[in-house]
């Protein structure tokens, strides 16, 4: 297994289409398909379900995608640090983030920053919150965008709130309440629940427990996968119900129904987490652009235009 195999697999998984992934990697389609199949043969499992030119991740593929991203992140950040400290490479801003904020927060902020500072490179790494925090602590990332943070982690970093987003219920599409226009949390007091692993999403279990206790019950947590796609897959497979930010509804959620919460709606903060020590001027400029874009997104949510 080589890093290129992981990069190829990540591209195909993210694009969900071999042709688009090949174009993104500047490869022809047959060699790309062959390299991904070689990876599957070496691992001994199918990572992708192929449907014509489109692909879908298998459960094994969803599990491996998180690991592959972490491996590639470690390799790339190590190489960047080496070039910056011992070579003549220019400063690189390394940003970790969670998937739901890529298209409407991260990408616009990076685009604006590159227009103003074309000589400064920005590297992006989609990682679970715990992986982001560990790499931030080891100076392998310059900033992390994530939700939920324990008091112990808050003490280590500079933490700024980007926005507060409403939560929504996630039910199997065959659930008796799946067609409801809204539903009180208390109606699910006897259900099994799917949360997110505290090992990957620190503080998530306590957040779910607090939300459910306010609704009058203790959640029976039966599964704690380590990514949002795996959580959605668990719900779709009938392992339980869940809650997640409304903003994460843009992720593929086949066989799941998103039902608004009636009554008091819990919210989750999206956070920008950075080292406590001051950063360089250009890095601070990038952080300001991220915060400005997040503030604009929050205003759009709170004050939608008349045409919407």
CA angle at 147 for the pair 247 and 166, rounded to the nearest 5° = 40
139/172 same-domain check? no
Q: Are 146 and 172 contained in the same domain?
A: no
Return the H-helix or E-strand segment holding 285.
helix 281-302
Q: Is residue 308 part of a domain?
A: no
pTM for the full predicted model: 0.76
CA gyration radius for the chain? 20
**Quick one: 37 and 131 in the same domain?**
no
Q: Please check whether residue 11 is in contact with residue 24, taking contact to mean a CB–CB distance below 8 angstroms.
A: yes
In a domain, 75, yes or no: no
CA dihedral 245, 250, 254, 256 (to 10 degrees): 20
CA proximity to 260, closest of 191, 187, 209: 187
In a shared domain, residues 169 and 260: yes
- What domain count does the chain have? 3
Please report whether residue 76 resides in a domain: no
Same domain, 203 and 285: no
Domain-embedded: residue 296: yes
| Residues 169 and 264 placed together within one structural domain of the fold | yes
- Is residue 132 packed enough to be buried (19+ CB in 10 Å), middle (13-18) or exposed (0-12)? buried
Apex CA 155: angle with CA 154 and CA 159, to 5°? Answer: 40
- Does residue 101 fall inside a structural domain? yes
Q: What is the pLDDT of residues 180-227, one digit of tens each?
A: 999 999 999 999 999 998 888 988 999 999 999 999 999 999 999 888
| Whether residues 7 and 24 fall in one domain | yes
For residue 298, the model assigns a pLDDT of 84
Question: What are 218-271's pLDDT values in tens digits?
Answer: 999 999 988 888 889 899 989 999 999 998 888 878 899 999 999 989 998 999
Clarify whether residues 156 and 278 are in a common domain. yes
Structure tokens at 38: 């070689």
**CA end-to-end span of the chain:** 49
CATH number at residue 147: 3.40.190.10
Q: Is residue 73 part of a domain?
A: no
Whether 70 is covered by a domain: the verdict is no
Assess whether 225 and 90 both reside in one domain.
Answer: no
Given a cut of 70, the residues of the chain with pLDDT beneath it are: 53, 84-85, 88-90, 301-308
Handedness of CA 273, 279, 282, 288 (dihedral sign): positive
Q: Which domain holds residue 253?
A: 164-268
Q: Is the domain of 143 the same as that of 280?
A: yes
241: in domain: yes
170 and 249 together in one domain: yes
241 and 180 co-located in one domain: yes
Residue 41's domain is classified under what CATH number?
Answer: 1.10.10.10
């Amino acid at each position: 297994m080589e890093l290129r195999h992981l990069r190829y697999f990540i591209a195909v998984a993210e694009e969900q289409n071999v042709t688009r992934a090949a174009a993104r990697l500047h490869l022809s389609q047959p060699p790309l398909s062959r390299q991904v199949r070689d990876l599957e043969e070496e691992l001994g499992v199918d990572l992708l379900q192929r449907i014509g030119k489109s692909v879908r991740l298998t459960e094994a593929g969803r599990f491996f995608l998180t690991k592959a991203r972490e491996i590639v992140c470690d390799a790339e950040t190590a190489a960047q640090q080496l070039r910056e400290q011992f070579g003549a490479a220019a400063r690189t801003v390394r940003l970790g983030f969670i998937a739901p904020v890529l298209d409407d927060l991260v990408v616009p902020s990076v685009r604006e920053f590159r227009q103003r500072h074309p000589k400064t490179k920005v590297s992006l790494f989609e990682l679970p919150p715990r992986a982001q925090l560990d790499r931030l602590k080891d100076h392998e990332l310059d900033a992390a965008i994530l939700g939920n943070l324990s008091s112990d982690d808050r003490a280590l970093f500079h933490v700024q709130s980007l926005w507060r987003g409403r939560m929504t219920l996630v039910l199997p599409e065959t659930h008796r309440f799946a067609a409801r226009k809204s539903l009180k949390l208390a109606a699910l007091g006897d259900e099994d629940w799917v949360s997110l692993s505290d090992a990957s999403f620190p503080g998530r279990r306590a957040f779910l427990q607090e939300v459910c206790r306010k609704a009058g019950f203790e959640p029976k947590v039966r599964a704690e996968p380590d990514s949002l796609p795996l959580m959605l897959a668990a719900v779709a497979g009938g392992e339980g119900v869940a809650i997640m930010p409304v903003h994460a509804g843009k992720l593929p959620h086949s066989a799941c129904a998103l039902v608004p919460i009636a009554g008091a709606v819990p919210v989750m903060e999206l956070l920008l987490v950075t080292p406590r020590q001051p950063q360089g001027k250009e890095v601070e400029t990038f952080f300001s652009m991220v915060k400005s874009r997040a503030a604009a997104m929050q205003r759009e949510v709170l004050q939608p235009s008349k045409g919407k």
